[in-house]
Chain A
């Protein structure tokens, strides 16, 4: 691609990469936003993500239909979410610690069950080609948008709308902001939190499916490089606003795409340093933004902020 586009290939590859790499981040951070809006934090999404990726790949492989794989990933993610949500509803069970535990259990389980999946190749999800007008393969590659990104964007707006306009959305926010207020309304905080964590798990499962079925599009034990945890930080960056999860996903997807884009141009000397960029950026944002308060949309019951 270097011959036809020259250095223009870099920003183009970064844009394409931002969408490809950003899709799982968008899904995971969107789900975690809902979980955290209900006052819980689930640090175990890394494990859920890997379970989702493995499940999606296995189901797509055996049925030949990637969409079934995505549904299966969402189901497994929901189960993990319910598990986290229900266990954390017990007294004296700390949600941060349970998240770390489920991260370990989920990734171990995914690696165990995924062992036979490393060799065979499952059908990938067909992308929506927006680059058909161009003859250049680099442009076509960059504009081949995966449908999960599109669905994720629509879902983000839907969740945003639901937070402000639906009974469930408003009640969820009450539960997340003040348990006492929720009880006064006769709401069950545990029920809402379990449901919100289940939704977060389902989204993380789909995020995992986008890793194994879209990009990189295969199952391996090195599939996730901490996206599940980065997403938790991205929620803070997104200020608990589902719409900003899209921006966060794209920004951090783009940062992750710089390193492979430069390598494709023949610049491989700083490969690992560029690979650290998304983490540095996430950390810099956490530092720059300081402690989020209620005016930033931070849920009052979140242990992260207390």
Chain B
């Protein structure tokens, strides 16, 4: 699975090579886009809808007006972080698909801490603490997966998904018993945060600060991965573990660290959702953001900065689901189908990468 990691070393190549490389990246992506549009149009047409109308509504519902953008960016905030949760371990060559579990436990930890301290701490102190609680929880959870991989050779992809199911069971147990707010009758929840403890909107935008946090984390992650010696070691460890061991890099700890960092991002996403959107930890937190993060990271080719625009795009498509349902009666699962088709097309079109027929010589 090492082939999944980005190439480890950047040496500035001549212009012709760089153009070819650009082409190499562009062709599979464009082919995947065309294929996705075709496949989904056929599916929609078979279901008896007008593809043009559906695509129009997707654009409108995701990016058509200020309200749509607000909805889109609100969803993009956790998606950036869950995309990073997959992209960071991938730097070390590990495929983690259990961000959903780290997200819900991170949200739970943040909610629990918020309930505990909201009487003593002012919001400006509590928010960082809640974020920290979420990151520690998520980092611990996926860190276990990395540790199992390195120390016990347990396949991290399967283990992370099993850990995700365990996390959701733990979450449900805690929310229904120890941490349950007696006032939450039909939908078990933790006690809600007071209104003044909810994360406010960013100035000039109708979107909460979680978006800003996500973008900052993505930029920091990009800088660490691309610009620092630590990032270089990580990419060497992921690209060629034998070389990395040969030059004395602590491959195991780099890998475990990358997994934990990814988990921390997912946990932070949970904390942000609790502090900004739901105000408490409940089943609404299990919304599939962790799974969308897998698609986002693959589509961004595991670039921590590339995760941001892809997350906005996926957030927009997800946001358009409710409009599709309202206007056309198209089930909201159709959006999942669109994302699934995109994912299949994206992975399948990798086969076009590096083909010689558009390279000269």
Contact = CB atoms under 8 A, between A and B. Distances in A.
A96 B157 contact: yes
A273 B348 contact: no
Interface stretch (A86-94, A167-175, A180-188, A241-249): A86-94
A53 B243 CA distance: 47
Interface string A26-61: 000000000000000001000100000000000000
Contacts of B343: 100-101, 104-105
Contact of B157 (A43, A107, A236, A272): A43
A287 B154 contact: yes
A225 interface: yes
Contacts of B154: 283, 286-287
Contacts of B177: 269
A290 interface: yes
Contacts, number: 138
Contact of A105 (B95, B159, B344): B344
Contacts of B333: 108-109, 111-112, 115, 221
A105 B337 contact: yes
A276 B166 contact: yes
A225 B341 CA distance: 22
A283 B95 contact: no
Contacts of B47: 112
Interface stretch (A131-139, A154-162, A226-234): A226-234
A102 B158 contact: no
Contacts of A105: 337, 340-341, 343-344
Contact of B351 (A92, A287, A303, A304): A92
Interface stretch (B70-78, B113-121, B167-175, B207-215): B167-175
Contacts of B337: 105, 108-109, 112
A108 B336 contact: yes
B341 A276 contact: no
A98 B343 CA distance: 8
B1 interface: yes
Interface residues of B, number: 48
A229 B158 CA distance: 7
A282 B350 contact: no
Contacts of A272: 169-170, 172-173, 176
A221 B154 CA distance: 30
B153 A291 contact: yes
Given A100-B97, A279-B166, A273 B340 contact: no
A229 B161 contact: yes
A226 B176 contact: no
Interface in B306-361: 331, 333-341, 343-344, 346-348, 350-351, 353-354
B340 A87 contact: no
Contacts of A229: 158, 161-162
Contacts of B1: 94, 96, 303
B141 interface: no
B177 to A, nearest CB: 7
Contacts of B269: none
11 contacts: A93-B347, A96-B1, A100-B343, A101-B340, A101-B347, A104-B291, A105-B343, A106-B340, A233-B158, A279-B166, A287-B152
Ranked 4 nearest A-B pairs via Cβ: A105-B340, A108-B336, A276-B169, A111-B333
